[in-house]
Structures are given as C-alpha cells and as structure tokens.
Structure 1
Amino acid sequence: MNPLLEAEQALLGAVLLDPQQLIHLSWLAPEHFYRPVHQALFAALRKLRADGHPALEGADAVPLEWVTDAVEEAGLHVRGLTAVYAHTLISACPRSGHAPVYARMVLEGAIHRTVTEHAIRLHQAARADALQGEVENALHQADVLTGVLGDLAQRWGSEPRPMAPTGQPAPAPFSPPPGRAARIVEDERSLLAVLVEQPKAIDEVVGWLRPGDFAAPGHGQLYRCLGVLHHRGEPIDRMTVLWEAQRRGLLADGTLSAEEIGAICDGVGLGGADWLGEQIMRSSVTRTAAASARAVRALAEDESLAPGRLIGHALHALGPLDEVRARWGTANGHGAPVAPPPPVEEAAAARVRAALARSTSPTATRASVRPRPAPKPPAERAPSRHHG
C-alpha cells in the first residue's frame, strides 16, 4: 500500500482512539485526504468536536459512541463506510500520540496532488488560449496556482520563496496547434519585414518585445540583428542584415540562410509594428504558460521533493511567465514600463560615430578627412656678429 494512504489510516485511527488529538490538527482540512471515505470521516470527527461531543470531556476511556457517531455522521455524505472499517483504522494506528506527524504526511501528499492538479489546469488553459489567440484564461490560472502555492506554504509552515532547482531537466517546448502556428510564423515574418522597411518602428516594440518571444528561433535571432544595427545607428537593409547575421554565425550554424533573410527583408509587412508585436506577445505568453505548467507538474510528480522545496521550485518555474506577463502589460498599457535590454536612444555619441565610420566607404572617408600640412622646420639663425 502507498505510505501516504497508510498515513491517512493511521491518522484517522489515532483520532478515533484519542479525540483530543484534534486540538493539534486545526491546520489540516478534510480535502487534504486522498480517499473520499477518509475525507468524510475526518470532516465528521471535526463536526463532532465542534458540537461538543461527550467523548471530548476528558474521560480516561473513550466511549464507543465516539466511533459509532463518527461513522454515522460520515455515512450521511459517503457510502460504504461501516463500523468494521473504523476499527480497521484503529488497528492501523501504531501510536495515537503521533497523530501530528501522520497529519504532516497526509498534508505532504495533498500538496503534491494539489500542485499537480493546478498545473494541469494551467496547461489546459494555455492550450485553449493558444488556439483562440487569447491570454486571459492562462493568466487567471497562473494567479490561482500562485495563490494555492502561497496557501500551501502557510499550512506547511514554510516561506513561499522561489528557489531554483538543481539538475531538473528542461521541459520540451510547447507547440501551438498547426493552424495557429502558421499564423504566428506569418506575423513574425511580417513584423521583421516592417522593421526592415521602417527601422524607426523598432522604437515602438523594443521596450517590451524580446527575441525569445518569437516562436521561430531564427526569427528571434533576426530580430536581435535588427536591434543591434539600430542600436549602433547603422543603416538597415537586406545587405546590412545579412552581414550582421553572418557576423553572429547564424549562417554557419544553420539557424538562418541567406535566402530566408533575403525573402524576409524584401517582403512586404502587413500591419503596424506595434500590432504585430502584440500578436507575437500573445503567442509568447501562452507558450511560456504551457512551459511553466509542464515544469511545475514535473516537480509535483517527484515524490522525493519535500513540500517546502516543491513550493519554492514551483514558484521559480512560474518566474518566466511573470516576466513575460509584465511585458505583455506594458505592450497593452496596463503595466509599469519594463526596462529594455541595452538602451537604444541613449547610445553614446562616440559609439554612434564609430559605427558610422565603419559603415562609410573608404573613398568618402579619405575625401572628408584632409591631412594637415607638415610644419616647416624652423629657420637657422644667422650667427651673431658680436660672437665668433
């Protein structure tokens, strides 16, 4: 039998043997039990205690009515519970005084199950939003999961603080539905074409759109190239973009090809940069939500993780979603401005001049820079007539 189910039986048996143990179990709720019959029985025991059952008067021997009344009360909410099973629970308890320890084992199992359940809900909401091009349901489920983690941490007695796991394998990337994926890729190509045709439009998206928001890794790297050229104050066209991509090794490692770059740079972007950027951000939010949900579920299914570490690692797994969500709010005007990666507008004048000098033809450079005439050597003084 599963040790957690044995802990549920031992805990209920301890309370049936010693009703006073309920005083130390106020932090445990019926829904923390796995089996419905155990949930109903623990709820019945708490109700009898709240109603002032005579078994709580502190007598040396616990009256038989404490067991029979608990079974009768629980039988109103669940079927199949008998007095025989109640006595089975009593025999499954090693020591009634260890009830708080058994209760912590029950709560540990409940924490793993609850986190798994809410991670599945977040993943389902992210998939549904990805199919419809929305983000609200995924963000709502992320808020619910964060609140659940905080409540579980309080019950467990730990601090809800993000902790990075060690050696945890990264979940596989989330793939949107095929029809939606084609639309996302087309929006990315359109945005890149707009930014090549109108380099000033980069200022409209650079504050909240990141290369990692692109579904196609090659498109994200191409967006990075455009941002770098814009940051250095260099001209942007098909040749300069191809040159920057080559310098970054994107052609050598197969991330992009010269034909792909040429097709994007020579293409026609349909839509404004800000609108296209928001469509890409929607996809990024749902992809990140799905990836965070899978990471949290993998953590919750690891039974070797203590509850405190599980909660901390789960909060850490939700960190990327919080970061993308903040930028999504900035893109829609609903959040505080997010500091962009290296500043673009505030580039030092010396760096801009140096970049322009590298982009200027050598002929123009030689024509604009005239060498100064060499200074004439000083004339020799004539010897004085008064000195030989």
Structure 2
Amino acid sequence: MIDHDDAVRLAEQATLGSLLYVPEATKAIGTWLRPGDFADMWHAHVYRIVHEHHLAGRPLNASELGSQMLGDLGPRRANIVAIHDLLAAAPTAPRPAVYARMVLDAGLRREIAGLGVLLRAGALQSALSGGPAPVVNSSAVVDAGLDSSANRWSLATGEPSGCDEPPMRMRAALSSRDLRLSADKYLRAHPRRDLVTEHAHEAALVGSLIAHPDTIGSVAAWLPPTYVVTPIWRTVYAATVELAELGQPVDLVTVAEATFRLSHHQPAPDLPDLREAVESGRLVDPHRAAGDVAADQVQRIADNGAHQLQVGADNPGLRIEDLVDTGHLVTGALRRIARELPHAVSGAGRPALTVVRQLEAAPQAVGQ
C-alpha cells in the first residue's frame, strides 16, 4: 500500500524538479500555489526561491538554486544534495501543473482540517461567556478560510468555485499561525465538555417547557428533537413539541401519554423522573434553560464539525468542493444556535475580527 505522506512528498519533489526543467510554468502555477502548501519545509523554501526569482525575471537553474540555498540556510540546512532528488523525481515529460495540483490538494486539506480548532475555541469562549460574538467571529474567519481554499482550487482546476474572495483583514488573520496556536492553547487551558451537566441541562429545559408551554414554539424553532443528545429526554421533547404543533394541551398528563406512545420505539424516562423534571421546571426560567442548552449545542456542533473536517480531509475520495461545503454547513449551524445564547443581542452587527483575537490570550492554569 502506498503511504500518503510518501505520495505527497513525491508530488512535491516532482513539482519542484519540473519547475527547474520548465521554469516558464511557474507563471501560471504561482497564482494559486503557495509555499505553505508544501508539507516539507525544505520544499517550501525551494519553491519560495523559485517563485521569487521568476517574479524578478531571473529564473534559476539547479546550480543557481544550490548557491541561493547555501546563502539562505548555510551548508548544513541547505542540503543542496537533495536538489538532485528533485530533478530525479521529475518524469521525462514533466507536467508541472499536474503535480502542483496534487501538492495543492494535500495542502488545502491540511489547511481546512486546521480550521476546526478555531471553531472549537470560539464555541468554548461563547459557552463560557454566554455571548455569541466569539463563535460568530471564529465562524467568519473559518468561512473566509474555506472560501480562500475554494477559490485557489478553482484557479488550479479551472472550475468555478461560487465563493467570494475573502476581505483583506480576514486573509491577514488566516495567514497567521499564531491564531491557531492561541486557539489550541485556549482549549488546553479549559476542561473538556461535561456530558453529565449537558444531560441535566436538557432535562431542565424539557421540564421547564412542559411547565411553561407558551415558550415551546420559540425553542422548537431552533432546536429540533434530533439535536437533543440525551435519548430519554429527546423522546419527551419530541412528544412535547408534537403536542404543541398540533395545538393540543401540554402538561404532565398529556406529555406522559404522548411519550408512552413514542416509547415503543425510543427510550423514555420513568414517570417519577418525568414528574420530577416537570415539578422542578416550574421554578426554572425556560429562556435561561434554553440558553444553557444552546451553549452546550454550540460546543457539540463545533466539536463534531471539527471532527468531520478532519475526517473529510483525510479521505482522498472526498473532493475539496465537498469539504468546503461541509465547513459552511457547520458555520451556518453555529450562527443559528449562537443567536439563542443567554447574552445574545438581537440585530448584532457584522463580525469583528478583533473579537476572534481574544482567543490569543489564553488563561494560564492555577499555580503557573
């Protein structure tokens, strides 16, 4: 079986070797291939030199490249012997654009997978603060990264992307590795999600909705039953929403009967547990309970979305276009749920990048 990393390395070598043989191909390739698309840092440095000299109108041959590498990196890091490997990797009839697209494909997959940490950090910050700004802004940066990837892939393949070019300020943020490192540091400084607490939040929400049925419609508008994680409370919630949509009375008795009908195919709580949830729900503000669930939902969607991006990026059978669409679906879902957070303000303005940069200030652990 061919190792993926070995295949990518061969494509990178073939790209660079072909550009040494066919330097005029650098003009077209340089519009969409970047040094950061190379997994090997030495290959990235070689491509940067080749591209810069092409822009200056002074294409390099292998000997001149070796001299430039020695001047830039010194005898040990320059590894000028490896230039021979680049020339040897280029086929007899080289096709630089074909090999460069392979490099771009691998680079874009790594870039898209790396966006997941921004989603998770923004969702965590929103869950802790109760406000939508962090996750909305991180979603804006991720959307810009997805659009940038789609546009570069479009330039490489000649197929339309259907995406707008990200604004300059977003491109500046995407080019900074500090943003991802800060987001990762922020995540590491906080504990993981507490599933027991999330289940308790869902029980509290369902009980409060049954006790205050007038609020069912507003919650059901953004929280479909399939989003409820706890199986037993998902069944009760589905029965409650169905009764409300049919215009039927909603109380402990009607919900218990409706849940019993659904429990033949789905798990459901015992009647004492349902009664306790409803009695407790009389003292719970359903809007506050919904906000707690929304905070849990934001984190769950971000975690699952980041996982989907990583799995999709690792799947060579999934096209870049489909991977970009998956990312946009995740950011869209996050924005919808973020509006229901406790401190959400209606009519919020456009996302401001400065809010995202709060992720760079990760709190230190106690005792450090």
Calculate the TM-score normalised by the size of structure 1: 0.68
Q: Cα distance 1:144–1:95, how it changes in 2: closer, same or farther (>3 A)?
A: farther
Out of 321, 325, 329, the position equivalent to 2:339 is 329
SS in 2 for 1:215: coil
Aligned residue pairs total: 311
Shift of 1:298: 0.7
- Equivalent of 1:49, from 44, 49, 54? 54
- Percent identity over the alignment is 22
Describe how 1:1-388 pairs up with structure 2 within 5 A: 2-26=6-30, 27-53=32-58, 55=59, 66-72=64-70, 74-75=72-73, 80-95=77-92, 97-123=94-120, 126=123, 136-157=133-154, 158-160=159-161, 180-247=194-261, 249-250=262-263, 253-305=266-318, 309-316=319-326, 318-319=328-329, 321-329=331-339, 332-334=344-346
Q: Deviations over 1:98-133 (max 9, x none)?
A: 111121111111122222222355346556766776
Structure 2 counterpart of 1:229, which letter?
L
From the two aligned structures, give the one with the greater helix fraction: 2
1:29 and 1:179 mapped to 2: Cα distance? Answer: 37
SS of 1:13 mapped into structure 2: helix
**Distance (whole Å) between structure 2 residues aligned to residue 272 and residue 334 of structure 1:** 19
Aligned partner letter, 1:254: P
Alpha-carbon distance in 2 for matches of 1:80, 1:155: 31
Q: Taking structure 1 as reference, are residues 101 and 235 closer, same or farther at Cα in structure 2, changes over 3 Å only? A: closer
Aligned to 2:363: none
Distance change (3 Å), C-alpha of 1:108 and 1:136: same
State the 1:203 CA deviation: 4.5
Aligned mates of 2:307, 2:192 — CA distance in 1:
20
Structure 2: which amino acid aligns with 1:315? D
CA distance in 2, matches of 1:213, 1:134: 20
Q: In the alignment, residue 197 of structure 1 is paired with which amino acid? A: A
Spell out, residue by residue over 1:255-314, the C-alpha distance to the aligned partner (whole angstroms, 9 max, x if none). 333232222223344432222212111111211111111111111111343xxx233144
Maintained 8 Å contact 2:14/2:90:
yes
**Distance change >3 Å, CA 244–CA 47, structure 1 → 2:** same
Measure the CA separation in 1 of the matches of 2:232 and 2:334: 20
Q: Which runs of 5+ in 2 are unaligned?
A: 164-189, 349-368
- Separation of aligned partners in 2, 1:7 and 1:268: 61
Kindly tell me: are residues 234 and 85 of structure 1, through their superposed partners in 2, closer, same or farther at Cα, counting changes over 3 Å? Answer: closer
Judging changes above 3 Å, is the alpha-carbon distance between structure 1 residues 102 and 201 closer, same or farther for their aligned structure 2 residues?
Answer: closer
**1:79 shift after superposition:** 5.5
Which stretch shifts more, 37-46 or 218-227? 218-227
**Post-superposition CA distance 1:193-217 (Å, at most 9, x none):** 3323332233453433332343323
Q: Provide the rounded CA distance (Å) in 2 between the counterparts of 1:39 and 1:312.
A: 27
Normalised by the length of structure 2, the TM-score is: 0.72
| Structure with more contact order per residue of length (Cα contacts < 8 Å, sep ≥ 6) | 2
Match of 1:368 in 2: none
Structure 1's 160 and 218: CA in aligned 2 closer, same or farther, altered over 3 A?
Answer: farther
> Are 1:126 and 1:289, in contact at CA under 8 Å, matched by a contact in 2?
yes
Match of 2:178 in 1: none
Pick which of 270-279 and 87-96 moved more: 87-96
Shift of 1:82: 3.6
Alignment deviations for residues 21-57 of structure 1 (CA, whole Å, 9 cap, x no partner): 322322211111111111111111222223332x57x
Q: Secondary structure at the match of 2:91?
A: coil
Query: Counterpart amino acid of 2:346?
Result: H
Q: 1:334 to 1:160 in 2, by over 3 A?
A: farther
Query: Alpha-carbon deviation of 1:146?
Result: 2.6
Following the alignment from structure 1 to structure 2, what is the Cα–Cα distance between the partners of residues 73 and 16?
19
Whose Rg is larger? 1
Q: 1:85, 1:28 → 2: CA distance?
A: 21
Structure 1 Cα separation of the partners of residues 328 and 268 of structure 2: 29
More divergent stretch after superposition (42-51 vs 98-107): 42-51
